[in-house]
């Protein structure tokens, strides 16, 4: 099976909605490398319900993707949209998230 890529489109509004739903700051959600936070990013990045986001993640993983690859896609999209700094900062944030 060919691995799918989940198309994400983050905007200031979707980041605010993410913070509102998580009841935590964007920075705190970034540091939480968990299925819950990945699903939340997919939900807001795709502008779908939580259930639809869960299904997208399940389909992604069923097609050969894994959680870390999806997390990397999310971080890349956030960087490209200007919500994260340069790639070195992104690597540092990923390492910190993985070491929790």
Tokens of 33: 């490398």
- Return d(Cα 59, Cα 4) in angstroms, integer: 8
pLDDT profile of the chain (100 residues), mean per 10: 80 97 94 94 97 97 93 93 77 71
Count CA atoms within 13 Å of residue 34 on its CB side. Answer: 9
pTM of the model: 0.82
Residue 91: what are its φ and ψ, rounded to 5°? -60, -45
| Domain boundaries defined on the chain | 12-98
Tokens of 22: 């998580």
């Amino acid at each position: 099976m060919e691995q799918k890529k989940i198309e994400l489109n983050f905007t200031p509004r979707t980041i605010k909605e993410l913070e509102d739903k998580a009841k935590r700051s964007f920075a705190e959600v970034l540091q939480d490398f968990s299925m819950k936070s990945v699903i939340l990013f997919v939900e807001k990045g795709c502008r779908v319900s939580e259930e639809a986001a869960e299904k997208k993640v399940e389909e992604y993983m069923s097609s050969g993707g894994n959680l870390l690859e999806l997390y990397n896609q999310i971080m890349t999209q956030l960087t490209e949209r200007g919500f994260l700094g340069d790639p070195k900062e992104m690597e540092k944030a990923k390492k910190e998230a993985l070491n929790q």
